[in-house]
A and B are shown apart, each in its own frame.
Chain A
Amino acid sequence: MAVVLGISGNYHDAAAALVIDGQVVAAIQEERLSRIKNDAGLPIAAALACLDHAGVDPRAVDRLAFYEDPVAKLERVLVHLLKNMPRTWRAFPRALASQLGVKIWALDHLSESLGVPRDRVVALDHHRSHAASAFFASPYQEAAVLVVDGVGEAHATTLWSGRGHQLDLLASVDFPHSLGLLYAGLTAWLGFAVNEGEYKVMGLAAFGDPSRLRDVFLQKIIHLQGDGSYQLDLACFAHMSDAELGFGPALERLLGPRRPQAKPWDLGDPADRRYADAAAALQSVLEDTLLGLAGRALQLSGARHLCLAGGVALNARANARISQFLRTRGGDAGDGRLFVQPAAGDAGGALGAALLASAELGDPRPPPLQSAALGLPVDPARALEIARHLGLAPRRVDDPCQEAARRICDGQLVAFVQGRFEWGPRALGQRSLLASPRELATRERLNRVIKQREPFRPFAPAVLSQETSQFFAAEPDDLTPFMTTTAPVLPAALPRLRAVTHVDGSARLQTVEAARAPELHALLTGLEGLGEAPIALNTSLNGAGEPIVASAEDALAFWLRHGVDAMIIGDLLLERTR
């Protein structure tokens, strides 16, 4: 029986996860506390918050597991910088300053900052941490695990066999060939910020025609091999020599000049349509590559189910295709299931590292992850006090979920803050902005006024689990509670779901059960009681470029800056006078 703290950080999306006696007790991304989006430091505040939440003294931590090996990473960085001379002359001083000045000392820094004795601090493997985060949190005792991200120490893609407590590496594709970096390079070429704009590329893809540039991608940019592996044409990329740019001049020769950053999108403009076509081709090729990798992982492991991890696993459209592939494989292999842990990106490495170290110390596997509400709880009493000092007029309500449902029915935008905040990039009903899914105008209002984001980005629906098939051509599965997949909207349901249906007729749905998200479940039930579909538009409660709200103070700061109609914090209601 052990107290294990898992840590990821020093690249992007720092996080901490606490596992006690094999149970996941808390998991927090540093950005929620530091208020810096994708905080790239070490998650000291998040680690202390996890320990504080559980009432554990840092000296009582039996193992502090860092999600990757800083020395192995330094070796890879150094080798690639030297191999790519002289193109790397600019990157070399900067990369070495970062590696030697900060990253190599991560374990010592963690030990000193948290007060955990140094001999209890260990470094694990990046991809193994990812694999553990997916497999050990999954409902499967036996599964293939596919990890796809930018790069860890050396691997960019790995296949694993998971059985009980055991994770065995089967095969890997190594840096510089990387699906994550392919996606990052194209994200940069499309004028979006890398590690932030990947969702935008996925949303944009639905507006393009993949067939126009698909052959260019498959012949000149990425080569898919018959054995499921892939190779990038490295001339198109610059990640070996310039981590910030990501793509090389060869890519611009093939696809045209990069799109200027921050230029407003106009999908009626042929130039922007071509960028959308490129996004569509990228998405299509990525999906095909992932299907090849998934097939290979299943073949090598002999497993029926699959777990997916790494930043690429946040691609909901690709997940939907893999899920479909698993369900429809022929013979005994049919009816396979897919699981993606909600924080599948680097933050998830903290959870994986904690679960791996916990297993090594002899603790049992945790039960399947039921809920992503693993953060700190909101304090409505504190919110009430501060709101009064702000001159607002907060009032308590008897049934906050019913109150929210009533307001959503009235066409209001409702900020909904309940219980512990979510783990991962999705708001799943604990820190959500909710609205009626019916009118397109709602989407416009949210995109332009609150979120200030591109008009092509879709919003997601949250639906009562048992009603899913009434509105979507899908049933609840292991992905839908965490909003990591998409499903087609049924044509008959379309008039009621305009605000949450993407241009391709799909929606990134979340199915809601009382056991997983009780407040959101009660709200959706309330909507149904009011004669509406038990569905709400559910988007994250954050302003443009900000992390999702965590505390009562963050919620009130959001209220001050953004014109939502009502905010419900616990049982506290704030309403905008009309």
Chain B
Amino acid sequence: MSLTARTAALLSPLVWRTHARTARRLHAFAQAEHGSMLDMRLAAAATPSAARAAAYLRHADDEARHAQIFAKQAQRAAAAAPRPRALPPVSADSERLFERLGERDFLAFVHHGEARALAQFEAYERYFAAVGRDHESALFSAVMVDERRHSRYTRELLLQLAGDEASARAALRRVRRWELGRLWLRAGRALAERLYVLTMLLVYLLAAPLGLLLRLVRPHRRGWSVAPKGP
């Protein structure tokens, strides 16, 4: 069992404990699937091969469907929570991975991501089956059918583009390193953001007298602020 699967299995009771947590988690999956859909569509537009474009479009279509399924289930969970609240619409940014990594490494990245998602989803499916939450278990089973196909075809295409097994493995190692680097940068950014917020709050407090002064010297203008020349 991979580290991803072990972690997912270990954390499942915590992650899926309440309706509210379930809703948050499923909504996060919906966002991730939506982001992946965007990347696959951009890849379809960017690849010179019509055959690969078709494969990416099929993949994007699956991701769009997964996003929809997760979002719908998240809404249900949110509505069942003791304090029901509407979840925001599913939206995500593309990481423009094709552009940044090139097609071979993009495929390696997608393959790696699909394999990881599969391991995670298998752990969740087992957990839900064990605790008798059949609806959620069936949801992950359905999604996993596609994930397996994605993992398979991306591996085939990666081998085609890389030329041989060794080059494909090298590409996979490269994207793992790239991903670690991205994780490091993200952690740094998250920390910096928190520090920044604290610093800015301090600046805000120090600027209080300036705020009072501004109210006096620059009051809100009402009506026309450029004097009309006409009658």
Which A residues contact B (CB, under 8 angstroms)?
A: 34-37, 79, 82-86, 88-89, 92-93, 96-97, 169-174, 176-177, 193, 225, 227, 229, 231, 234, 260-263, 296, 299-300, 302, 382, 385-390, 545, 551, 553-554, 556-557, 560-561
Q: Could you list 24 examples of A-B contacts with CB < 8 Å?
A: A34-B38, A35-B42, A37-B91, A82-B207, A82-B214, A83-B215, A84-B211, A85-B211, A89-B201, A93-B201, A93-B204, A97-B200, A171-B226, A174-B221, A174-B225, A225-B223, A229-B222, A231-B222, A260-B86, A262-B86, A545-B90, A551-B45, A553-B44, A554-B45
Find the A residue at minimum CB distance from B221: A174
Q: Is the interface of B mostly helix, strand, loop or mixed?
A: helix
- The answer to whether B58 and A390 touch across the interface, beta carbons within 8 angstroms, is yes
Q: How many residues of B sit at the interface, in one of the four size bands?
A: 35 or more
- Starting from the known contacts A36-B38, A93-B200, A545-B91, 20 additional A-B residue pairs (CB-CB under 8 Å) come to A35-B94, A36-B91, A36-B93, A83-B215, A83-B218, A84-B211, A85-B211, A93-B204, A96-B200, A169-B226, A170-B229, A172-B226, A173-B225, A176-B220, A177-B222, A229-B222, A389-B54, A390-B54, A554-B45, A557-B60
Q: At the interface, yes or no: B51 with Cβ under 8 Å from chain A?
A: yes
Residues B190-231 near A (CB distance < 8 A): 193, 196-197, 200-201, 204, 207-208, 210-212, 214-215, 218, 220-231
- The answer to whether A89 and B221 touch across the interface, beta carbons within 8 angstroms, is no
Q: At the interface, yes or no: B50 with Cβ under 8 Å from chain A?
A: yes
A9-B31 Cα distance, complex, nearest whole Å: 24
**A83-B211, A560-B58 known; A296 vs B228 contact (CB < 8 Å):** yes
Q: Is the interface of A mostly helix, strand, loop or mixed?
A: mixed
Q: What are the residues of chain B within 8 A of A169 when measuring CB–CB? A: 226
- List 8 A-B pairs, minimum CB-CB distance, nearest first: A389-B54, A385-B50, A93-B200, A82-B211, A85-B211, A300-B230, A229-B223, A93-B197
A545-B34 Cα distance, complex, nearest whole Å: 11
A296-B230 Cα distance, complex, nearest whole Å: 9
Q: What are the residues of chain A within 8 A of B193 when measuring CB–CB? A: 97
A560-B58 Cα distance, complex, nearest whole Å: 8
Which one of A93, A170, A551 lies within 8 Å of B226 (CB-CB)?
Answer: A170
Q: At the interface, yes or no: B64 with Cβ under 8 Å from chain A?
A: yes
- The answer to whether A92 and B200 touch across the interface, beta carbons within 8 angstroms, is yes
A142-B86 Cα distance, complex, nearest whole Å: 50
Which one of B51, B64, B197, B204 lies within 8 Å of A389 (CB-CB)?
Answer: B51
Q: What are the residues of chain B within 8 A of A37 when measuring CB–CB? A: 91
Q: What are the residues of chain A within 8 A of B218 when measuring CB–CB? A: 79, 83
Find the A residue at minimum CB distance from B62: A560
**A92-B200, A227-B223 known; A34 vs B94 contact (CB < 8 Å):** yes
Q: What are the residues of chain B within 8 A of A386 when measuring CB–CB? A: 44, 50, 53-54, 57
Q: What are the residues of chain B within 8 A of A177 when measuring CB–CB? A: 220-222
Q: At the interface, yes or no: B136 with Cβ under 8 Å from chain A?
A: no
Q: What are the residues of chain B within 8 A of A553 when measuring CB–CB? A: 41, 44-45, 53, 57
A373-B230 Cα distance, complex, nearest whole Å: 39
**A82-B211, A553-B53 known; A36 vs B224 contact (CB < 8 Å):** no
Q: What are the residues of chain A within 8 A of B64 when measuring CB–CB? A: 561
**A85-B211, A93-B201, A557-B44 known; A300 vs B228 contact (CB < 8 Å):** yes
Find the A residue at minimum CB distance from B231: A299
Min CB distance A244 to B, Å, is 11
- The answer to whether A554 and B41 touch across the interface, beta carbons within 8 angstroms, is yes
Residues B40-94 near A (CB distance < 8 A): 41-42, 44-45, 50-51, 53-55, 57-58, 60-61, 64-65, 75, 86-91, 93-94
A553-B220 Cα distance, complex, nearest whole Å: 50
- The answer to whether A382 and B201 touch across the interface, beta carbons within 8 angstroms, is no
A446-B101 Cα distance, complex, nearest whole Å: 39
A92-B220 Cα distance, complex, nearest whole Å: 19
Q: What are the residues of chain B within 8 A of A296 when measuring CB–CB? A: 228
- The answer to whether A193 and B50 touch across the interface, beta carbons within 8 angstroms, is no
Find the B residue at minimum CB distance from A92: B204
- The answer to whether A172 and B225 touch across the interface, beta carbons within 8 angstroms, is yes
Q: What are the residues of chain B within 8 A of A225 when measuring CB–CB? A: 223
Find the A residue at minimum CB distance from B50: A385
- The answer to whether A557 and B224 touch across the interface, beta carbons within 8 angstroms, is no
Q: What are the residues of chain A within 8 A of B215 when measuring CB–CB? A: 83
A171-B228 Cα distance, complex, nearest whole Å: 6
Q: What are the residues of chain B within 8 A of A560 when measuring CB–CB? A: 57-58, 61
Find the A residue at minimum CB distance from B85: A260
Q: What are the residues of chain B within 8 A of A260 when measuring CB–CB? A: 86
A173-B207 Cα distance, complex, nearest whole Å: 28
Find the B residue at minimum CB distance from A228: B224
- The answer to whether A92 and B225 touch across the interface, beta carbons within 8 angstroms, is no
Min CB distance B62 to A, Å, is 10
Determine which residue in A177, A193, A386, A560 has the highest number of CB atoms from chain B within 10 A of its CB, and name it: A386
- The answer to whether A382 and B50 touch across the interface, beta carbons within 8 angstroms, is yes
Q: What are the residues of chain B within 8 A of A382 when measuring CB–CB? A: 50
A85-B41 Cα distance, complex, nearest whole Å: 45
Find the B residue at minimum CB distance from A543: B64
Q: What are the residues of chain A within 8 A of B53 when measuring CB–CB? A: 386, 389, 553
Find the B residue at minimum CB distance from A391: B54
Min CB distance B142 to A, Å, is 17
**A299-B230, A561-B61 known; A171 vs B224 contact (CB < 8 Å):** yes
